[in-house]
Structure 1
Amino acid sequence: MQRRQATLKEKLSEHYRKRDFKAKKQTASTAGVVFFLSMLVTVVLEGLVVLLPRYYTTDDGSMASGYRFAQFLCIWLFIETSVNWYNTYYDVANRVTKEMKATHYPATSETPPGWKNCPTCLLDAPPRSHHCSLCNYCILKRDHHCFVTGSCVGYHNQRTFVVFCLYTLISTAWAAFLQFCYLNEELPISTYWASFYFPLAGLWQYLVGAVSFINFFILIHLCCTLVSLGLVVFFLFWQLVIIARGQTSFEAWKQISIYRRRAVLNNFRDVFGELQNFLLLLVVPLRLPMPADGIKWVIEPKEEKGH
């Protein structure tokens, strides 16, 4: 007796019955990457096509001086932000491997002093490294998992993350300024159009045909830009604080300060390298060599009182 073939409806029903609809940890990381890339592309296109032409158009219809420079600046910020984003995203050098222990401790099979054995990776990890459940790797000097880049910020990409935050800060601040100027010219905030700047009120005014789609779109874009600006200000400030203190986010949370150098400048050198390298990194998004390997760390003795 032949077995009856399941219908398409039955196959779909069985598929969704077995499907796990619980939110995955990686979903937040994917959503963050999609949000950033969408914002990056739409902001630069909006700036070049809509915002800059409107801002630099004079009363007689000609372009004011500085328009070409503003276009160049917009493209340059886009390149710097996107390349530093990629340099942060590409965190392969941060991943702990078996070869790291073999290089520094070739004659022992036991966990070296100060190291720890990761039960997930099944290898020994150097000091300051931690396992990331999202990346599924142990990360050298792990600071945090960045949902915007979908990768971990650690020893080899912390400085590019800081530069990425800096350029994102400049870009979002400028974009928010241009977006507000555009909307304020179309719908002055000092008039009865002030209610439009509340998103729900703006949505209602768009649905009833009181405002155009482009105005409503730029309003939503402005809200997203302001949220991004607030987040990047926080992360940039926090990174500079913990770098100055010679800590990672985990160490600051656990109040671990044994890796802090006495001179604040040395704490910055541990992350950025020499000053000339950092200044070059600010202008050209290169992958410069780090000052050390991120495996061995010196614990400086505490200064006794009175000395």
Structure 2
Amino acid sequence: MHRITMDMDISDMHWKIKGTSKFTRKGASILGIIYFFLFAATIMWTTVVYALPALFPESADDGRVHYGLLVFLWGNMLANYCLCCTTKSFYADHEPRHVPEHWNYCLPCGRHLPPRAHHCLYCDRCVLKRDHHCFFTGCCVGYFNQRRFVLFNLYTCLSALHVLGLLLQYLEILNGPTMERLLSYIFPVMVYEWYVGSMPTFTALVILEMYVCVVACIGCGGLFGWQMMIIRDGQTSYEAVKDIKYFNQRRFVLFNLYTCLSALHVLGLLLQYLEILNGPTMERLLSYIFPVMVYEWYVGSMPTFTALVILEMYVCVVACIGCGGLFGWQMMIIRDGQTSYEAVKDIKRYNFGRTQNLREVFGPYWLLNFVFPMWTKLPGNGIDWTHTKIVKGY
């Protein structure tokens, strides 16, 4: 008898989602895509049009280095994003005449599925080696596009860190190197100062972009780390997360490690920035706190542009932490040859060794993926899997 892949709770959830409108089911993904492109375009515009020209004259060698680094990081980020969105991992093959014993059965689709394939409630399709549904790309992360997702998170994290450093230096030009203005970087203070007219709108936008960079760096860095770990172990996110004991003892520790390292790096940047500030006063330090920033912007004591820069700084911090954590998680389950589902369920029968697990996700020349997007063919097809061992209950 073939196993059914969806329990009653998930099945009930599927039919509830199925009964809603198509826009409602895809609304979260649409909003995620809009968010990504909106903030990416805004941050790139601020950095290229204002920050870099102000920080580095055209004749400066440092300026050319930063322009080149910007092109490299953002080029890889956008290329992997587009490849992740356009590379589908749907199971579209016809069901074989003789269904293997270890295949599962999908209730919504009414068909048998190969091992590690699962039904997505949002795509309403079955996905090969499904890891999870990403709302920022609007698609599922599966067998054929997992490497794109991992590298997208890596380069988003690095891009956010790079832009965060540039925006911090640019804010020093806008506000002056004083602790008094540091308070304006806090989101509420930035909004307040922009509202009251004390902060230019452009400055508030730059601060806002810094917030976006922080969020992107945190989120994508975390996703990249997570993907690399599950790839290393030959797992999907499902397979990795289902290993409760393993997750609590090792996944959780490594996740906190990457989050801690990301936070320490950002903290180090901020501490270095504080060291070069002249005339330190705690009065302006408060302006970088979000509520205070909003208040100062509201009353006009902070220019709108400064408030935006502070907001962007917050975004950069969140991005750095989030992407760093996701990157760490993905690296852990990749290392063990698992998906997130398999990790939670303690399913380890697809662990072919760390090197082979990495090749299974990134291809034969897997290290080159971390330099530029690779179009090498993956060793498998996402359907046929050779088990290292059978785990009861899968």
Aligned position for 1:234: 325
- TM-score, with normalisation over the residues of structure 2? 0.64
Q: 2: distance between equivalents of 1:284 and 1:65?
A: 24
Q: 1: distance between equivalents of 2:127 and 2:212?
A: 31
Residue 134 of structure 1: SS of its match in structure 2?
Answer: coil
What amino acid does structure 1 have at the position aligned with 2:378?
A: M
The count of residues paired between Structure 1 and Structure 2 equals 268
Contact 1:40 1:78 survives alignment (8 Å)? no
Aligned position for 1:281: 369
Aligned position for 2:207: 219
Aligned position for 1:267: 357
1:155 aligns with 2:143: yes
Aligned position for 2:63: 67
Q: CA deviation at 1:189?
A: 6.4
Q: 2: distance between equivalents of 1:75 and 1:45?
A: 13
Give CA deviations for 1:142-187 in whole Å, capped at 9, x if unaligned: 0011111110101111111111111111111101111111113322
Give ranges in structure 1 of 5+ residues lacking alignment.
1-19, 303-307
Q: 2: distance between equivalents of 1:98 and 1:84?
A: 26
Q: 2: distance between equivalents of 1:78 and 1:194?
A: 28
Aligned position for 1:184: 172
Of 133, 143, 146, which residue of structure 2 is paired with 1:145?
133
- Aligned-CA RMSD value: 2.2
Q: Which has the larger radius of gyration?
A: 1
Contact 2:150 2:330 survives alignment (8 Å)? yes
Contact 1:91 1:152 survives alignment (8 Å)? no
1:296 aligns with 2:284: no
Identity %: 31
Contact 1:144 1:152 survives alignment (8 Å)? yes
1:41 aligns with 2:59: no
Contact 2:358 2:366 survives alignment (8 Å)? no
Q: 2: distance between equivalents of 1:216 and 1:269?
A: 45
Q: 2: distance between equivalents of 1:234 and 1:151?
A: 20
- TM-score, with normalisation over the residues of structure 1? 0.81
Residue 379 of structure 2: SS of its match in structure 1?
Answer: coil
Contact 1:91 1:151 survives alignment (8 Å)? no
Q: CA deviation at 1:251?
A: 0.8
Which structure carries more helix by proportion? Answer: 2
Q: 1: distance between equivalents of 2:27 and 2:176?
A: 40
Contact 1:89 1:150 survives alignment (8 Å)? yes
Aligned position for 1:3: none
What amino acid does structure 2 have at the position aligned with 1:248?
A: T
Q: 2: distance between equivalents of 1:290 and 1:56?
A: 43
Q: CA deviation at 1:65?
A: 1.4
Q: 1: distance between equivalents of 2:179 and 2:142?
A: 49
Contact 1:143 1:153 survives alignment (8 Å)? yes
Contact 1:117 1:124 survives alignment (8 Å)? yes
What amino acid does structure 2 have at the position aligned with 1:259?
A: Y
Q: 1: distance between equivalents of 2:180 and 2:75?
A: 40
Give ranges in structure 2 of 5+ residues lacking alignment.
1-19, 220-322
Contact 2:337 2:357 survives alignment (8 Å)? yes
Q: 1: distance between equivalents of 2:181 and 2:68?
A: 33
What amino acid does structure 2 have at the position aligned with 1:140?
A: L
1:256 aligns with 2:347: yes
Q: Which has the higher contact order (CA 8 A, sep 6+)?
A: 2
Q: 2: distance between equivalents of 1:207 and 1:125?
A: 56
Residue 113 of structure 1: SS of its match in structure 2?
Answer: coil
Q: CA deviation at 1:188?
A: 4.3
Give CA deviations for 1:192-226 in whole Å, capped at 9, x if unaligned: 22221111111111122212111111111111211
1:193 aligns with 2:188: no
Residue 24 of structure 1: SS of its match in structure 2?
Answer: helix
Q: 2: distance between equivalents of 1:144 and 1:183?
A: 38
1:46-125 matches, cutoff 5 A: 46-57=46-57, 63-92=59-88, 94-99=89-94, 101-102=95-96, 107-108=97-98, 111-125=99-113
Aligned position for 2:239: none
Of 335, 348, 353, which residue of structure 2 is paired with 1:244?
335
Q: 1: distance between equivalents of 2:328 and 2:368?
A: 21
Residue 170 of structure 1: SS of its match in structure 2?
Answer: helix
Q: 1: distance between equivalents of 2:385 and 2:177?
A: 55
Q: 2: distance between equivalents of 1:51 and 1:285?
A: 28
Contact 1:91 1:153 survives alignment (8 Å)? no
Q: 1: distance between equivalents of 2:111 and 2:369?
A: 33
